[in-house]
Chains A and B, each alone.
Chain A
């Protein structure tokens, strides 16, 4: 099934041809066109209405990022994979703010590009399947576009052993701690202690409250959640 149109915006003809060759290997991509300048890219977007853009930032007549600011761009369902040099992270950060589908640093890793294309195919299919958009689908699509594929993100970096040691600190009835006291007791950095404590709050083992302490500055205090009655 060939149904996704791609436009490659790249002024280096040989590199563009290699990109095109690589994309054509994927059966889902139907037509692959190449625009060597920003002006050509604008015309071809108008005429061909591609689904996906492979966009290089440095072009003879301007910056690829300018396309993101076009009205034509924001009005279409077209998405862009942004390709930029490692020295140009400001542009990359701007592209992300404008909602680029993905961003690949030069020299391009074709494995990484393959991952990105596959992700786009899934995004495209979801979009096609959900013509009747409801909030659930919007969220799902949002996740596919912008986020990692790892579902259990907030348990990432939580080690059972450390967690147990933190829970031990609260073993006494009514004991309360700050991130600092836990960090000192367990031997963690304060931010790591904060992360574990908040994990405990999320799992309802602990509860957190703000205490306006001795010095008049607020402090966050953690207590066992099951002993307030």
Chain B
């Protein structure tokens, strides 16, 4: 079983790549070699044939040869032909008579008067034409050129045959082919070597992974990327989007499909965010509060480096409120547990008291004690809801009131607060954002205060032509260095990261509604933010 598994396991990518290249290289060199060998052989044969023919013709027209053939004078022919043979590279020269019998053969072993072999004398002897033939002659297979010998009257009286043994031609051919073969072998070796380098290089670029492993890895990474709860955006050096996951698309409320987004400039998708305007020399940044399309987020930015070169950036972000909620929950769970223990203890005491009072029949006292439990909260609720004529603002203020209590602060409502109806210049959510952010700001500024300075005073009034929102704290005040830029995005006093966006939002909403926001020092310390917004737009009544 193990055996079979071992066999069925596919070859590694590198080996397959190498084998493929090797196969192609071998086939190509083989074809080239075969073709050139054949071509060269054919050319050589043709050349040799032509050479034999030319020599035969030249010899056949020599007057001495014609005379000697006429007289069947073998000795004289020998004297003429042997020196010629010495000058030529032909294997043999034969002169025959009109009947095709040897008059002379340069090989002495052939007897004069014996018939010529090959049966190729018909054309020269009977039709008087020169030919080239490949025939097996007296001495073996050879290429021959045959030319007729004519008497003065034109009658064919004999034949001259010049021959080259094929074995000799093949030796020539091989001697020409050897360098070509060597060259081909050299090329083959070079090809093998580069194929090996190529496949190894690819393997290294693929980090030693097989293609199907890479495909699986890519799918897995895609799934991970899409399923991350954080928003993740990848951009290249030019700030073009190269990747964005589902969480990011949802949070930014992008309507485009995931496949359409890459290639867009990030600046056009999320305008006006200095955090995203990256320069190659910028360092990585972590956990900063920024505004992505009206969404407050905590974002981090990390450069992608490959081979020491910056390739782009990855930006990951979470909703700011998510993080707030989480950290708040974590820090409060322990406090709740402690509080519960205390409350239970108090509760038992309280029930003992009631039981005692009932025992002595002090019923009025029992009623009073029970009512006092809900009285304070009931009064806060009734005061807030009777003062502010908008459900949403009431809800917000009650929430903030108890939030302040949890933080050990006190939210006071200035006497004479009143709000009939929110002006329609902004939406309810925007008004809530103004009030909520100013209060959060004040809460935070008051956190480190001494016990007597832990009040925040809120005044909201719409009695005159303007809606006035004033929030006064007795906190640390505003650093004069920051005062000028207080409402710019991302400007924050060091400890209070809330300032970064909150005040920017407040001021942009107030501006949108045509109002003014002023910042003053409180007496004796702290800050007062005052917002004055006309109930109707200024240009309506101007």
Closest residue on chain B to residue A97 by CB atoms: B395
**Which of the segments B53-61, B139-147, B381-389 contacts the partner chain?**
B381-389
Distance, CA A218 to CA B532, complexed state (A): 11
CB <8 Å contact, A93 and B396 = yes
Grouping DSSP codes into helix (H, G, I), strand (E, B) and loop, the B interface class, with mixed when no group exceeds half, is mixed
Residues of A within 8 A of B (CB): 86, 89-90, 92-99, 103-109, 112, 142-143, 146-148, 150, 153-158, 178-180, 183-184, 189-192, 194-195, 198-199, 201-202, 208, 210, 215-220
CB <8 Å contact, A89 and B470 = no
Distance, CA A93 to CA B436, complexed state (A): 14
CB <8 Å contact, A105 and B378 = yes
CB <8 Å contact, A195 and B385 = no
- Which listed residue (A106, A192, A216) contacts B374, Cβ 8 A? A106
- Most chain B beta-carbon neighbours within 10 Å: one of A99, A198, A220: A198
Tell me whether B238 is interfacial, beta carbon within 8 Å.
no
CB <8 Å contact, B378 and A97 = no
CB <8 Å contact, A97 and B391 = yes
Besides A178-B520, A190-B472, 19 more A-B contacts (Cβ < 8 Å) are: A89-B401, A92-B381, A93-B396, A93-B398, A96-B394, A97-B394, A103-B381, A105-B378, A109-B371, A112-B378, A142-B389, A154-B461, A189-B472, A194-B470, A195-B414, A198-B464, A198-B468, A199-B416, A217-B519
CB <8 Å contact, A153 and B387 = yes
Residues of B within 8 A of A (CB): 370-371, 373-375, 377-378, 381-382, 385-387, 389, 391-392, 394-396, 398-399, 401-402, 414-416, 418, 457, 459, 461, 463-464, 466, 468, 470, 472, 483-484, 516-523, 528, 530, 532
Task: Decide: A154 near B463, CB < 8 A? Known: A93-B396, A103-B385.
Answer: yes
Give A149 Cβ to nearest chain B Cβ, in Å.
8
CB <8 Å contact, B520 and A195 = no
Closest residue on chain A to residue B484 by CB atoms: A216
- Which listed residue (A147, A150, A155, A220) contacts B530, Cβ 8 A? A220
CB <8 Å contact, A191 and B399 = no
- Which listed residue (B389, B399, B414, B459) contacts A146, Cβ 8 A? B389
Closest residue on chain B to residue A178 by CB atoms: B520
Give A220 Cβ to nearest chain B Cβ, in Å.
6
Task: Offer 16 A-B interface pairs, CB within 8 angstroms, sorted by A.
Answer: A86-B374, A89-B377, A93-B396, A97-B396, A99-B391, A104-B378, A107-B371, A112-B378, A142-B389, A143-B389, A147-B389, A148-B382, A153-B418, A183-B523, A189-B472, A220-B532
Distance, CA A219 to CA B281, complexed state (A): 43
CB <8 Å contact, A154 and B418 = yes
CB <8 Å contact, A190 and B395 = no
